Amino acid sequence: MSLPAFDLAIVGAGPAGLAAAHEARNLGLSVVVIDEQDGPGGQIYRDVERVAMHRAHDLDVLGPDYKYGFGLVESLRASGVTHLAGYIVWQIESGGTVWCSDGSQAKRVDARRVLLATGAMERPVPVPGWTLPGVMTAGAAQILMKSAGMVPGGPIAICGSGPLLLLITDQLVRAGANIAVVAETTSFTDYLRAAPKLPKALLGIEYLQKGLAMRRRIKAAGVRMLSGISELRVLGDEKADGVSFKRGGRTHTVQASSVLLHQGVVPNTQATRQLRLQHLWHEEQHYWYPKTLDNGATELEAVYLAGDGCGIYGARAAEASGRLSALQIARSLDVIDDKNFTLKSAPWLSEQKHHRAVRPLLDALFPPPSDILNPPDDATIVCRCEEVTAGSIRKAVALGAQGPNQLKAFLRAGMGPCQGRMCGLTVTEVMARASGKSPADIGAYRIRPPLKPLTLAELADMDPADMDAE
């Protein structure tokens, strides 16, 4: 059945999308939330309802910040929004039309405004051996804890850097996982460089306290923690059987059947790229983020953005930004006037400021290491789908490849099933270093619909009413 036109279509049911839906409904807007997962929460609050119902003991494992999401999810349930759960979005039009599918039938959703709250993904970690079975991201292990109550059998090697690495280690410890080593790329120099950012971060002191408490608990559990590691490799032939890395001039080898990699999170820019929005390069964290105007507005009148898809600030800041975007949208539709907007947005602006305060410190403390950005070993796979190595990209640059889009013609990099999600940042960085240009000048893959693959049957089964052009 064809859906009515909505005031607002929100893509993504993480903290930003949920908060925006709640706020917009409260202002009387008709709202549809379209999300890939069949339960709300995004990755951060993934399956929080199910955990509460079937694995309540896991709420203690995952901690209070996860449990917090339950309230946000319940507010969506109570708000009366239309929730298209388990729908992939495969095209977004600049005028506000969203095309999606539940895996059996494609559907068209029309809205006066569309808010993209598509969130973040973990930065790919291209080290030798990262394609071996037994290797996954630390976030993947966390998703398995949330969605299935599963932990890797172990021994586990956790390698990389960032606040999420600590959080997940802390959760794995509580879940009773067998952790062989936590090997952090963060070094003493990173702490020195980040130190000047400390005073301003004190506004978000609870984040720093949480980080220190996690580190204390992990150490108290007897987990071996090493910092300042480099030259990480995953060892193994048919599957991972350990890791090796350098530290203080010595090479360490640790046996492990499961390797969890993590180097922070980056905005997932597939949807904003498909819309051809302007993207900027974050010099310190080495990621692309779409340019936004006031409270998530963009150069396209119908398109708004919220949450970590616009830059990494964390779940609570994303929630505030979702509410601010909803208010901005309501103002653009003349649902509220300027005075009312100022009144309603003030508390969320200060909330956002509070939760963002710690970020400059974290950005400085956890920079992605240069050998992750630009893998020095020519044999390291960069594009997992098409099995394109760092060396072949450098060779293509020497042969004259000008940027990521021309590289597709040279090597098919970025043309496999993941559509460049896993190699895009690395390709930009490797090409920039090899050609002596800046990443901003090298650019990024052009992203085209469908954003996610769908079958011809899903298109063919579409309601004819959905296909009529405006």
Partner 1 sequence: MLKRRHSDAAVVRISIDGEQVEARAGESVAAAVLAHTEGATRTTPLSDAPRAPYCMMGVCFECLMEIDGVANRQACMIRVADGMSVKRQQGARSVEGRE
Q: How far is the CB of 410 from partner 1 (least distance, A)?
A: 16
Q: Given candidates 5, 59, 85, 140, which one binds partner 1 under the rule CB under 8 A?
A: 140
Q: How far is the CB of 153 from partner 1 (least distance, A)?
A: 5
Q: How far is the CB of 261 from partner 1 (least distance, A)?
A: 9
Residue range at the interface with partner 1 (CB under 8 A); choices 127-135, 279-287, 314-322, 437-445:
127-135
Q: Is 74 in the site for partner 1 (CB under 8 A)?
A: no
Q: Given candidates 175, 203, 226, 333, which one binds partner 1 under the rule CB under 8 A?
A: 175
Q: How far is the CB of 114 from partner 1 (least distance, A)?
A: 20
b (16+ CB within 10 A) / e for 300-325? eebbbbbbbbbbbbbbbbbbbbbbbb
Residue range at the interface with partner 1 (CB under 8 A); choices 24-32, 138-146, 272-280, 281-289:
138-146
Structure tokens at 392: 């072949």
Q: How far is the CB of 89 from partner 1 (least distance, A)?
A: 11
Q: Is 23 in the site for partner 1 (CB under 8 A)?
A: no
Residue range at the interface with partner 1 (CB under 8 A); choices 32-40, 315-323, 333-341, 355-363:
32-40
Q: Given candidates 65, 102, 371, 386, which one binds partner 1 under the rule CB under 8 A?
A: 386
Task: Check: CB of residue 407 under 8 Å from CB of residue 427.
Answer: yes
Q: Is 54 in the site for partner 1 (CB under 8 A)?
A: yes
Task: Check: CB of residue 98 under 8 Å from CB of residue 449.
Answer: no
Q: How far is the CB of 41 from partner 1 (least distance, A)?
A: 12
Task: Check: CB of residue 328 under 8 Å from CB of residue 296.
Answer: yes
AA letter at 234: V
Q: How buried is residue 387: exposed, middle or buried, by Cβ count under 10 Å (0-12/13-18/19+)?
A: middle
Q: Is 139 in the site for partner 1 (CB under 8 A)?
A: yes
Q: How far is the CB of 264 from partner 1 (least distance, A)?
A: 14
Enumerate residues 142-171 that contact partner 1 by CB under 8 A. 143-144, 147-153
Enumerate residues 231-270 that contact partner 1 by CB under 8 A. 238-239, 257, 268
Element (H, E) at 98: strand 98-101
Say if strands 88-92 and 303-305 run parallel, antiparallel, or are unpaired: unpaired
Q: Is 47 in the site for partner 1 (CB under 8 A)?
A: yes
**Per-residue x/- track, 183-222, partner 1 (CB under 8 A):** ----------------------------------------
- Distance separating alpha carbons of residues 345 and 293, to the nearest angstrom: 15
Residue range at the interface with partner 1 (CB under 8 A); choices 25-33, 77-85, 139-147, 297-305:
139-147
b (16+ CB within 10 A) / e for 334-369? ebbeeeebeebbeebbebbeebbbbbbbbbbbbbbb
Q: Which single residue is written with the structure tokens 């506000």?
A: 96
Q: Is 50 in the site for partner 1 (CB under 8 A)?
A: yes
Q: How far is the CB of 226 from partner 1 (least distance, A)?
A: 24
3-state secondary structure 382-418: EECCCCEEHHHHHHHHHCCCCCHHHHHHHHCCCCCCC
**Per-residue x/- track, 401-440, partner 1 (CB under 8 A):** ---------------xxx--xx------------------
- Distance separating alpha carbons of residues 316 and 189, to the nearest angstrom: 29
Tell me the C-alpha to C-alpha distance, in Å, between residue 307 and each of 142, 174, 281, 392. Answer: 20, 29, 17, 36
- Distance separating alpha carbons of residues 84 and 32, to the nearest angstrom: 7
Task: Check: CB of residue 378 under 8 Å from CB of residue 390.
Answer: yes
Q: How far is the CB of 2 from partner 1 (least distance, A)?
A: 25
**Angle of helix 424-435 relative to helix 390-398, nearest 10 degrees?**
40
> Judged by CB, which is closer to partner 1: 174, or 437?
174
φ, ψ for residue 100 (rounded to 5)?
Answer: -145, 175
Q: Is 37 in the site for partner 1 (CB under 8 A)?
A: yes
Total residues at the site for partner 1 (CB under 8 A)? 50
- Distance separating alpha carbons of residues 21 and 326, to the nearest angstrom: 7
> Judged by CB, which is closer to partner 1: 7, or 35?
35
Q: How far is the CB of 149 from partner 1 (least distance, A)?
A: 5
Q: Is 379 in the site for partner 1 (CB under 8 A)?
A: no
Closest CA to 111 of 183, 208, 198, 31: 31
Q: Is 136 in the site for partner 1 (CB under 8 A)?
A: yes
Enumerate residues 289-348 that contact partner 1 by CB under 8 A. none
Q: Is 25 in the site for partner 1 (CB under 8 A)?
A: no
**Residues making contact with partner 1 (CB under 8 A):** 36-38, 43, 47, 50, 54-55, 57-58, 88, 103, 121-122, 131-137, 139-140, 143-144, 147-153, 175-176, 238-239, 257, 268, 384-387, 416-418, 421-422, 452-453, 455
